[in-house]
Structure 1
Amino acid sequence: MSTIRRLYSCLCEDIPGRAAPPPLPVGQVVELARYPVKSMGGERLTRARFTADGVAGDRGWAVYTADGGIGSGKTTRRFRRIDGLLTLRARLETPEDGEVPLVVLPDGREHRADDPAAGQVLSTLLDRSLHLRRQSSVPHHDEAPVHLVTTAAVRKLEQLLGEGVDVARFRANIVLETEGADFIEDDWHGRHLTIGDQVELCLGPGMPRCVMVGMPQPRDGLGADAQLLKLLGHAHQVRFGLQAGVVRGGTVQRGDLAVLF
C-alpha cells in the first residue's frame, strides 16, 4: 500500500458494533468535478473514473513554493496560502485522462503543467517563486481522496443563511441530489455507498472547512462570502459534506443512483 493510501485507510475501517443496515437508495449524482491542480479552478464532468486514489487526475498536481509548501487557500504544515490561485483554471484533455493538466491563465493562454515556463509565468503573475509539481509521497488532498456533498445539506445551509448557496464553493467531487433540507450525511459516517453499477465508497467523517469556501472564485462567477464559514462554525462544527475513500473503482456518470448500505 502506498504512503498516500495508508494515510487515508482509516476512512474504510468499519465502526465496531454497527450492524449492517439494509441497502437504501439515497439520491442521484447531479454534479461531478475534478481539480487537476490543487486550489485552482477545475472542470465539471459528465462522467469520472474512480481509482483507489480518488477521481482520476484530481489534485494530481499542485503549485509549490520555494520552501516546499503546497499552494492552497490556507497555511498549515503542508500547505502555503497563495492568493490568486482561484483566478486560474486547470483542465485535462479527456474525462478519463489522468496525465499532465493544462493551466489556463486569466487571459486564456494555456501552459502544460510540466513545462518550466508555466512555473515562470505563475511566479510573475502571483509575485513569488513558484513551480508546478506532480504529487509524490505527500498528498495534495486536504483530508480524503474523495469529497461528497448532498443537496439536502445545501438547502439546510441556505435556510440558515437566508440566501442561496452555490455548491461550487465546496469544490466537491460528487454532488448527490437528495430529498429534504438537513445535514442528512451526518448519519452516514462508517457506511458504504455504491454509485451506479461499479463504484463503491466508504464514507468517513464530515469534511472540515477553511477560508477557501468564502474566497472569490472568478472561474465560477462567485464573489467573496464573509458569512459562510462563520455560519458553518456556529451551526455545524465547521464541517460540510463527507470525506470518502474508494473501495471499488470504476466509472460514475451524472444520473447514477447512489445506494447507502
Structure 2
Amino acid sequence: MSANGTVDSVKIVEVRRFPVKSMRGEVVPSAEIGARGLAGDRWWAVRDPDGKLGSGKSTRRFRRMPGLFGFRAYAADPAPIVELPDGRRFAADDPAGHRAVGEVLGRTVTLAPETAVSHYDEGPVSLLTTASVRALEALTGGDVEPLRFRANLLIDVPGDGFPEDDWPGRRLRVGAEAVLRIVRPLTRCVMIDMAQGPARERNDLLRTLARHHDLTLGVFATVERPGRVAVDDTCAWEVGRDGR
C-alpha cells in the first residue's frame, strides 16, 4: 500500500463481525459501519451476575470465561442467534438459552446488549493485513489462521513485515464512503493461542509477538465517516487535517 494512494491489490478480503462478544462470529460479504463500528458487532455479551462481561481475559470490565469460543453467534433481529457446541440454537434474549449457555460454562450467566459499559476491548473497528500474518508465519515457521485475531477487516497487502505499524494517525478510506482514523496497534492476549473453530490450540503466538513485536498485531480505528464496506472494496489513504 503506497504512502499517498492506492495499490490495485490492496483490497478488503474478509469482513467479519462478532454478534456476541468473545464468541465465534460470522464472515459476511458486506456490512454497514457507523460511529460504533460494524453494525451488530459485539453488541451483545455474556454477563456474570456481578455485571462483568465474558471474555478471554480478566480485567476491570471483563471476566475470563473458558469455553466461550465453543459458541458461535449469528446476527439477527431483535437479538443474535447463539449456537451451542452441541448444535442447539437459541435467541440471545431467550432465558432458556441463558440457562443452556450457563450449563456449558459451568456458571450462572445472562446475555444482554451493550449499555453504559462498552463491549470493545480497545476500539470500534479492528484491522489486520495479510502482510502481517505472513510476517508472523515467518517468525513461527508455520501457518497462522487470520481468524485467530478476530479482525473486522482483513486487508490484502503485498509483501510481509508489519505495515500497520506506520498507520496510526492516518485516515483510511474503505470503499466509496467509509473513512477510518487509525488510532494505535492492538495489544494481544492469550485468546490468540486458544482453539477456535478450525484453528487448533497452540502456545507460541503470544510468546512470539511478545519477543518480536511488543505484543501487538493489527490496529484499531475510530469511524470518521460512516458507510458500507464490502469484500473487494479498495482502500486508499486520505490527505486529511493532519497533512498526511
TM-score by length of 2: 0.94
How far apart are the structure 2 equivalents of 1:123 and 1:179? 44
1:100 is the counterpart of 2:79:
yes
Residue 23 of structure 1 and its aligned partner are, at CA, apart by 3.2
Residue 235 of structure 1 and its aligned partner are, at CA, apart by 0.6
How far apart are the structure 1 equivalents of 2:189 and 2:4? 35
- The answer to whether the 8 A contact 2:57-2:63 is kept is yes
Letter of the 2:235 counterpart:
A
The match for 2:134 among 152, 155, 172 is 155
Q: What residue ranges of structure 1 are gaps of 5+ in the alignment?
A: 1-20
1:83 is the counterpart of 2:83:
no
How far apart are the structure 2 equivalents of 1:178 and 1:222? 23
Residue 147 of structure 1 and its aligned partner are, at CA, apart by 0.3
The match for 1:32 among 15, 31, 48 is 15
Residue 260 of structure 1 and its aligned partner are, at CA, apart by 1.7
Residue 119 of structure 1 and its aligned partner are, at CA, apart by 1.1
How far apart are the structure 2 equivalents of 1:123 and 1:69? 14
How far apart are the structure 1 equivalents of 2:158 and 2:29? 22
Q: What residue ranges of structure 2 are gaps of 5+ in the alignment?
A: 239-244
How far apart are the structure 1 equivalents of 2:149 and 2:119? 16
The match for 1:61 among 27, 34, 44 is 44
1:187 is the counterpart of 2:187:
no
1:249 is the counterpart of 2:226:
yes
The match for 1:165 among 135, 144, 169 is 144
How far apart are the structure 2 equivalents of 1:86 and 1:246? 28
Q: Higher helix proportion, which one?
A: 1
Equivalent position SS for 2:164: helix
Which residue number in structure 2 is paired with residue 121 of structure 1? 100
How far apart are the structure 1 equivalents of 2:6 and 2:227? 21
How far apart are the structure 2 equivalents of 1:104 and 1:124? 14
The match for 1:212 among 191, 194, 199 is 191
Equivalent position SS for 2:40: coil
How far apart are the structure 2 equivalents of 1:175 and 1:161? 20
How far apart are the structure 1 equivalents of 2:205 and 2:4? 35
> Deviation above 4 Å: which 4+ runs of structure 1?
none
How far apart are the structure 2 equivalents of 1:89 and 1:123? 15
Which residue number in structure 1 is paired with residue 112 of structure 2? 133
Which residue number in structure 2 is paired with residue 233 of structure 1? 210
Residue 22 of structure 1 and its aligned partner are, at CA, apart by 3.6
Letter of the 2:74 counterpart:
R
Equivalent position SS for 2:10: strand
Equivalent position SS for 1:223: coil
Once the two structures are superposed, what CA deviation does each residue of 1:151-185 show, in whole Å capped at 9, x if it has no partner? 01111111111111000000000000001101011
How far apart are the structure 1 equivalents of 2:123 and 2:135? 24
Letter of the 1:251 counterpart:
R
